[in-house]
Structure formats: structure tokens, C-alpha cells
């Protein structure tokens, strides 16, 4: 079975469309949260993703944008985008966001679970091997997909050895992929990266493809209509910084 793994779309319709148009054949889609927040097309993005698969995990922006959580923990730019999103979302889409599950959600793949932050805390940022140690140990499954950091890659361990996994790319403006073979005996925490707002210094939309038969995860980067996404943000009256950071990939 092959699953397209998406995270942190952040209402970036142009990035999502580029990912869906270029994604290899797959049986299902696993979504790791933050479907909305920051970008200018929350309704259109929800329309696209809600029928794609059955596995959805909620993100902190999803909670904030549907009023499940206060904006007190958000920085001023994120809070302003969340307020804009709240008033822009249709009531049907607010209801859809409110029913999303807190992770971990067991996927329809064998021994794979999905979370937004980590298995211990949906809001945890897993950035370093030190952050990854406990979530890797405590996960019920051998493979856990996570998002939230907007950094593609992940971590693996067999208790003796520890690995930080970083896809190697040439960079630039072409699509690229990086295949990771899943080794027996290792436990994995894997982040497909952010579709809609990458923060690993690569502006291209990020996603991953899990192949349970071949025992691989392939990381992908795909260019998208960045200028259009930026224009939509500016036209919507969202903070300028949300447009400029897309080009910087941070
Ligand atoms: Zn996010």
C-alpha cells in the first residue's frame, strides 16, 4: 500500500495543487494537521483535502482557527492570520475542523501512526535527536509520521544507534525526490515537511510517499506558483511577512 503523507498545508492552495498534480500513484492520503492558518485559501484547501483520505490529525492552527483554542499562545502575525481565517471560513468548514482528532491516530497502514507534534503532546516541536528520544520510544508503532516543525526529514533509532535523517537535494527550481529505505529493527519518526510553508530553507512544497510493500519513504519537493500564493496573501490583507517568508522557506 502506498500513502501520500501531507502536513502543514496552511491554506496554501497553489502549493497543494502542485503537490496533488505531481504526486505518484497512491492508495490513500494521511494528513498530519495545520490544514489552515497563514495562507489565503482556507475554504478551497479544506474542500480539496477532506475527501482525499480518512486519516486526519488536527494541528494547533486548525484548533485556533475554529475557535477550539485561544490565540494567547500565538505570536501577533499568527494570531492575526488565525483571526482572519476564523472570519473567512464557512460554518461548514468550521464544523469540519472541530471534529478533527488529536493524535496519535493509527493509520490504515501496518504499524504506522500519525501525529501533529508528537505522540506525547500534539503541540510538541520535535527538532532535535534529544526531542525525538522519548516520542520514538513511547510510540505504539514502529513508524510515526509527524509535522508541526515544517522541516522535512526525521529521526531513527534501534536504542543503540541514533540517526538524524535529512533528505539531500541539489536545490533550485525543479522537482526532486529522495528515497529512504526503511531498515528492519529501526524505529522511525518521519516528517514529510510542510506543503504550504516550508521552514527548511527550501521554498518548494514538501511531501512524502510511504510505500509499505517496498518498505520505503520517499521525500519530495515540488515547485509551485509562489507568486500567486504571495499575491493572494497580500490581496487578502494578511500580514506581508506571510508572503515574503514563502520565498525564503523559513
Ligand atoms: Zn504548521
- Ligand 1: centre distance to CA 207 (Å): 13
- Domain range for 137 is 2-248
- Ligand 1: centre distance to CA 187 (Å): 24
Model confidence pLDDT, tens digit, residues 101-135: 999 999 887 899 999 999 999 999 999 999 999 99
- Ligand 1: centre distance to CA 242 (Å): 13
- Ligand 1: centre distance to CA 149 (Å): 7
Write the Ramachandran bin of 193: left for phi over 0, alpha for psi from -120 to 50, otherwise beta. Answer: left
- Ligand 1: centre distance to CA 160 (Å): 31
- Ligand 1: centre distance to CA 212 (Å): 26
- Ligand 1: centre distance to CA 111 (Å): 25
Model confidence pLDDT, tens digit, residues 184-198: 999 999 999 999 999
Count how many domains the chain has.
Answer: 1
φ, ψ of residue 55 in degrees (nearest 5): -95, 115
- Ligand 1: centre distance to CA 141 (Å): 23
Kindly tell me the sign of the dihedral angle through the C-alpha atoms of 147, 233, 101, 69.
positive
Q: Taking the mean position of all CA atoms in its chain, how far away is CA 8? A: 3
- Ligand 1: centre distance to CA 184 (Å): 31
Q: Which residues of 130-164 are buried (b: 16+ CB within 10 A; e: fewer)?
A: ebbeebbeebebbbbbbbbbbbbbbbbbeeeeeee
Confidence category of residue 172, pLDDT binned at 50, 70, 90: confident
What pLDDT score was predicted for residue 108?
Answer: 81
Is the pLDDT at 152 greater than 80? The verdict is yes
pLDDT: is 73 or 50 the higher one? 50
What pLDDT score was predicted for residue 165?
Answer: 98
Residue 165 in grid coordinates:
535523517
Which spans in the chain are helix H? Answer: 13-22, 42-49, 60-65, 76-88, 91-98, 129-138, 226-235, 241-248
Q: What average pLDDT does the segment 206-218 reach?
A: 97
| For the chain, percent of residues with pLDDT exceeding 70 | 100
CATH code for the domain in which residue 199 is found: 3.60.21.10
What pLDDT score was predicted for residue 39?
Answer: 98
- Ligand 1: centre distance to CA 114 (Å): 15
Is the pLDDT at 158 greater than 90? The verdict is yes
Q: What average pLDDT does the segment 68-75 reach?
A: 92
- Ligand 1: centre distance to CA 245 (Å): 14
Beta strands in the chain (DSSP E): 2-6, 28-31, 55-56, 105-106, 112-114, 143-145, 153-157, 162-165, 176-181, 187-191, 205-211, 216-222
- Ligand 1: centre distance to CA 4 (Å): 18
What pLDDT score was predicted for residue 249?
Answer: 95
> What does the mean pLDDT of the chain come to?
96
- Ligand 1: centre distance to CA 152 (Å): 12
| For the chain, percent of residues with pLDDT exceeding 90 | 95
Amino acid at each position: 500500500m502506498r500513502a501520500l503523507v501531507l502536513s502543514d498545508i496552511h491554506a496554501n492552495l497553489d502549493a497543494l495543487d502542485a503537490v496533488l498534480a505531481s504526486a505518484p500513484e497512491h492508495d490513500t492520503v494521511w494528513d498530519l494537521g495545520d490544514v489552515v492558518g497563514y495562507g489565503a485559501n482556507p475554504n478551497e484547501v479544506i474542500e480539496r483535502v477532506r475527501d482525499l483520505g480518512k486519516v486526519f490529525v488536527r494541528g494547533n492552527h486548525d484548533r485556533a482557527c475554529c475557535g477550539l483554542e485561544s490565540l494567547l499562545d500565538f505570536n501577533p502575525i499568527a494570531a492575526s492570520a488565525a483571526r482572519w481565517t476564523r472570519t473567512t471560513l464557512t460554518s461548514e468548514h468550521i464544523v469540519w475542523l472541530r471534529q478533527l482528532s488529536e493524535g496519535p491516530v493509527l493509520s490504515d497502514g501496518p504499524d504506522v501512526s500519525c501525529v501533529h507534534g508528537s505522540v506525547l503532546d500534539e503541540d510538541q516541536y520535535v527538532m532535535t535527536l534529544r526531542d525525538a528520544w522519548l516520542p520514538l520510544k513511547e510510540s505504539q508503532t514502529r513508524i510515526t509520521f509527524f509535522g508541526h516543525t515544517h522541516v522535512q526529514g526525521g529521526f531513527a533509532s534501534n536504542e543503540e544507534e541514533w540517526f538524524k535523517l535529512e533528505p539531500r537535494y541539489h536545490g533550485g527550481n525543479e522537482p526532486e525526490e529522495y528515497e529512504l529505505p526503511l531498515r528492519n529493527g529501526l524505529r522511525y519518526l518521519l516528517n514529510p515537511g510542510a506543503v504550504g510553508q516550508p521552514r527548511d530553507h527550501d521554498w518548494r512544497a514538501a511531501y512524502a510517499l510511504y510505500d509499505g510493500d517496498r518498505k520505503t519513504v520517499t521525500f519530495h519537493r515540488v515547485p509551485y506558483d509562489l507568486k500567486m500564493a504571495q499575491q493572494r496573501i497580500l490581496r487578502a490583507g494578511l500580514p506581508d511577512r506571510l508572503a515574503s517568508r514563502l520565498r525564503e522557506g523559513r
